[in-house]
Amino acid sequence: MRIKSEQLGKMVQKHLAPVYLLFGDEPFIVQECRDLIRCFALEKGYTEREVLDVETGFDWGRLAESKKSLSLFGRNQLIEVNVPSGKLGSSGTKALSEWCQNLSPDVLLVLLLPRLDKVTQKAKWFADVESVGVCVQANTVARSQLPLWISERLLQQKQYANQETLLFLADLTEGNLLAAWQEIQKLGLLYPSGKIEYDMVRQSVLPVARYAPFDLMEAVLSGESLRAVRILDSLEQEEFEPVILMWTLTRDLRTMMGLVRLLKSGMSMNRAIQALHVWSSRAIFFERALHRIRPSVLSEAMYCAADIDRQIKGLAVDKVWEDLVSVCLLLCQGKKVGKVLV
C-alpha cells in the first residue's frame, strides 16, 4: 500500500503494518512519520529498538541477524534502517525482498530513504515492500498548504490560531519545516491551551529589537522618510531578519493594492477597509497612504519587493538592506494629491 504522509496518523491508530518505507524530499516529514510509528509501536509492545545506518560497505546480513537474535530473547522489536544515500545495492534489494517473504509478527521494520525516482519505485524490492507493508511518501509541504500544516500541529498541543496568524507563521518559516515546528513548540511552552493571538505570535517569534517591522510600516505609510530610514538602520545594526520585514512590507502592499481595486469599483473607503479586515488602529495609515501614493508606484514597489525576496533566498546579488531603503523611500515619497489616487 502507498499513502501520503498526512494519512499515516489515522492508519497506525488502527493497525501497525509489518514494514514501513518512509521516503521523500522532506527530511523533517520523514522523521515525523518515524516518530509517529515509534510511539504507536511502543504502545503495542515493541519495547526493543535497533537502528542500522547504511553507509559504504554496510553488511546487509546484519538485518537477518537482528531477526535471529530477537528470537532468542522473545521480545517484540522495532528495527529502523536509515539509508541516507538512497542506494541499497544488489545485496540490499535482495535482503529486503527476502525479508518481505519471511515476515515475523514480532518484528516491525521501518526503512528511511530520501526521494526515490520513478524507476526505483518500480523496482522489485519496492513492489515487495508495498505488497506487504506501507510506503509513505513524504513530500515538501506546498506554500499554500503550510498554514494548514501549522494549524494541525497547533491543534495537537490544544492550541489554534486565525488565518492571519497562520499566514504570518507560514511566511516566516517557509522552506524550513524544522524552524516552523520549533516555533510551534515554543508557543506550546509559552502559552496555555486555547487561541493563539497574532500579537502573542509576534512577541514569540520576533527577536527583541528597539524597533519592529510595524514601526517601519507606520513610518512608510505616513510618508516619514527620515524616520523610516532611521528604523531600517537600527534594524540592520541589530541584525534583524530581513524576511520578517519583507513579510510585513508585502502584506501592506497587497492591502493597499486591494483597497485601490475596491475603491475603483465604487466602494467607500470604510467598507473597503472592513472588506479587507484592516485593523481599525491601522486604517488611518492606509487612508493617508492612498492619498499620497499612485497605483503605479505600488506596482513598482511590489516588483522591487519580489527582487528583494530573491536576494534573501540567494537567487540574486545580495543588497537587501540597500534595496529595502530604496523601496521604503519610494513609498514615502509618493506624490501628494488631494484625493485618493485610483
Q: What residue ranges do the domains of the chain occupy?
A: 2-137, 143-205, 213-332
Q: Check residue 339 and give its pLDDT.
A: 41
Closest by CA position to 125, among listed 152, 153, 101: 101
Beta-carbon contacts of residue 42 (< 8 Å; ≥ 6 apart): none
Q: Check residue 174 and give its pLDDT.
A: 67
Q: Check residue 95 and give its pLDDT.
A: 93
Q: Check residue 74 and give its pLDDT.
A: 55
Q: Check residue 79 and give its pLDDT.
A: 93
Integer angstrom CA distances of residue 75 from 34, 110, 318: 20, 17, 57
- In whole angstroms, give the CA distance from residue 115 to residue 120: 10
Q: Check residue 36 and give its pLDDT.
A: 93
Domain formed by 213-332, architecture: Up-down Bundle (1.20)
Residues of the chain with pLDDT under 50: 207-209, 335-342
Phi, psi (deg, nearest 5) at residue 268: -75, 160
CATH of 2-137, picked from 3.40.50.1000, 3.20.20.100, 3.40.50.300, 3.30.470.10, is: 3.40.50.300
CATH code for the domain defined by 143-205 = 1.10.8.60
Angle at 310 between CA 211 and CA 29, to 5 degrees: 90
Grid cell 515546528 is found at 181
Integer angstrom CA distances of residue 203 from 6, 93, 187, 198, 214: 30, 51, 10, 9, 12
Q: Check residue 337 and give its pLDDT.
A: 35
